[in-house]
Structure 1
Amino acid sequence: MDLQAVVQLIGNVGFPIALSLILLQTILIKFNKQMDGLEKRLAQLDKTMKLMVKTYHQSTSKSAIRQDKKEDG
């Protein structure tokens, strides 16, 4: 937002309302950036959890096979 737009906004709606609108815009921009960061972290967490579950299932099935071999042997 450039200076001329701010001056025009103040002239049209008054200083308190113009200031409120500027602050609201600033807050919304920061909030959107934080939400984008959270989405990326949640996606990474989802990938990590899926990998952990897959690894757990593989290790569980391998240990079950080993126990079967011990019982047969």
Structure 2
Amino acid sequence: MDMQTMIQLVGNVGFPIALSLILLQTILVKFNKQMDGLEKRLLQLDKTMNMLVRTFHQNGLNSTIQVEKKEN
């Protein structure tokens, strides 16, 4: 917000309400940034978990094949 807008806001609605609106805007901007960071971390976690599941299944399949070969 520029200075002229803030002066008009204070003149129109009063200082406490104007200050509340400015603080609300600041909080919302920070919250959105945190949510974006959280979304990126969750996507990375999802990729990592998928990779671990694939690795687990491959190792489990290989172990099963090795056990079957030993039994024959």
For the aligned pair, the TM-score class normalised by the smaller chain equals over 0.9
Determine the C-alpha separation between the residues in 2 that align with 1:15 and 1:63.
71
Determine the C-alpha separation between the residues in 2 that align with 1:49 and 1:39.
15
TM-score by length of 2: 0.99
Task: State yes or no: 1:22 paired with 2:43.
Answer: no
Corresponding residue of 1:59 = 59
Q: Which amino acid aligns with 1:66?
A: Q
TM-score by length of 1: 0.98
Can you give the 5+ residue segments of structure 1 that lack an aligned partner in the other structure?
none
- Computed over aligned residues only, the root mean square deviation of the Cα atoms, in angstroms, reads 0.3
1:59 shift after superposition:
0.1
Which aligned segments of 4 or more residues in structure 1 are displaced greater than 2 angstroms? none
Task: State yes or no: 1:32 paired with 2:16.
Answer: no
CA deviations 1:12-42 (Å, max 9, x no partner) are 0000000000000000000000000000000
Between the two proteins, the alignment pairs up a number of residues equal to 72
Corresponding residue of 1:2 = 2
Q: Which amino acid aligns with 1:13?
A: V
